A and B are shown apart, each in its own frame.
Chain A
Amino acid sequence: MKRSVFLVLIIFSLCTYCKAQNAAIIKWNTLENLLHQKTDTTYVINFWATWCKPCVAELPFFIEQEKQLSNKPFKFYFISLDFKKDFTTRLIPFLEKHNINSAVYLLDEPDYNGWIDKVDNRWQGAIPATVIYNASANKRDFYEKEFTLEELIQTLKTYIQ
């Protein structure tokens, strides 16, 4: 009995550790829901990948703003377009190395043509790309570009009521 309690404790502590990163693999349906939440929260959905230099350059700005706005109705999602086979070998180590605990989802939908237009029909497919929207403010923006810190702050400001 004592031994099994001990084991359970070990498993729990291991899991706390492995949950340090909030990363998961998702399919289109999940992403579609994230893109259309009818609340008064502002959702910031950033498309990136570990190998994409401009994405990795702007990522700290987003994570910093996520912290800055944590007391306001903002929710950030980071959609990784890394290949699925690189989830444990590249994505997780990257998140650990940079101590990123934000909501990171690897989108496992290789037929890009099937969903790019559904994210935004202006999107040509290049990353980084970012969707920012607030359903109750009836406001939605799409950016196929790399943000500077200043540009990001100014853009998010327009969503602070």
Chain B
Amino acid sequence: MKNLMRTGAALIVILFMFSFKLINPGSYVPGDRARDFKLKNVNGKMVSLADFKDAKGFIVVFTCNHCPFSQAYEQRLIDLDKKYAAQGYPVIAINPNDKNVAPDDSYENMVSNAKEKGFTFPYLYDESQEIAQAYGAARTPHVFVLQKSAKDNIVKYVGAIDDNADEAGAVTKRYVEDAVNQLLDGKSIAVPSTKAVGCSIKWKKA
């Protein structure tokens, strides 16, 4: 009985630690189940992964307005969406930055940026930062390629879009394209995770 109480107490402590984020579960890695969300798009509508009945998966990218790396990839995100949305892998962009820390990344500025750049994909506002926390996004841009399974969305690739932020013309490794192509071909992912330099996510200041 005493042992049972002890175990119970330990469990409660652990649960508390999780709920207060004292334990950081870290970034999603390939093989993890990715949680769904319901976030506000730049057109004012709420968007969830579950809305995309015909999708085979998703190219989820945490990005923002102000970061030069994000800006360098805007056109490449449009190109990815144009190429892969029709094949079942739409781009879903999420801005996780706190508008008090980065005023350029406010919802209003997202709306105008999406319009100005002609985004073809949803550009969602993670105002509570809950989704960026859950995915373990660390920087912008930070990509998570997901594949739909019967019940869930499984993480298949985490990392950079390609190997040259500065010059799109000098890219030699197209990490996201390669991953999605391999998924479409039913192959395993040759490079399931990469790292890249990016802007830190602008977390809310306590």
Contact = CB atoms under 8 A, between A and B. Distances in A.
Contacts of B167: 110
Interface in A88-129: 110-114, 116-117, 123-128
B170 A126 contact: no
Contact-residue bracket for chain B? 20 to 34
Nearest to B170: A110
Contact of B197 (A54, A84, A127, A146): A127
A11 interface: no
B195 A113 contact: yes
Tell me the interface secondary structure of chain B in the complex: loop
Given A113-B195, A125-B198, 16 more contacts: A51-B68, A83-B165, A85-B166, A110-B167, A112-B160, A112-B163, A112-B196, A116-B195, A117-B195, A123-B195, A124-B139, A125-B138, A125-B195, A126-B199, A126-B200, A144-B138
Given A112-B160, A125-B138, A83 B195 contact: no
Nearest to B72: A83
Interface of A: 49, 51-54, 81, 83-85, 110-114, 116-117, 123-128, 144, 146
Contact of A126 (B102, B139, B164, B173): B139
B133 interface: no
A119 B99 CA distance: 31
Contacts of B159: 113
Contacts, number: 67
26 contacts: A49-B68, A51-B68, A52-B200, A53-B102, A83-B166, A84-B166, A110-B163, A110-B165, A110-B166, A110-B167, A111-B172, A111-B173, A112-B195, A112-B197, A113-B159, A113-B160, A113-B163, A113-B194, A113-B196, A114-B163, A124-B27, A124-B138, A127-B197, A144-B138, A144-B200, A146-B200
Given A113-B159, A124-B139, A126-B138, A52 B199 contact: yes
Contact of A81 (B138, B172, B173, B197): B197
A111 B166 contact: no
A114 to B, nearest CB: 8
A127 B165 CA distance: 15
B201 interface: yes
Contacts of B160: 112-113
Top 7 nearest A-B pairs (CB, nearest first) are A124-B138, A126-B200, A113-B194, A126-B139, A116-B195, A111-B163, A83-B166
Nearest to A114: B163
A81 B200 CA distance: 13
A126 B166 contact: no
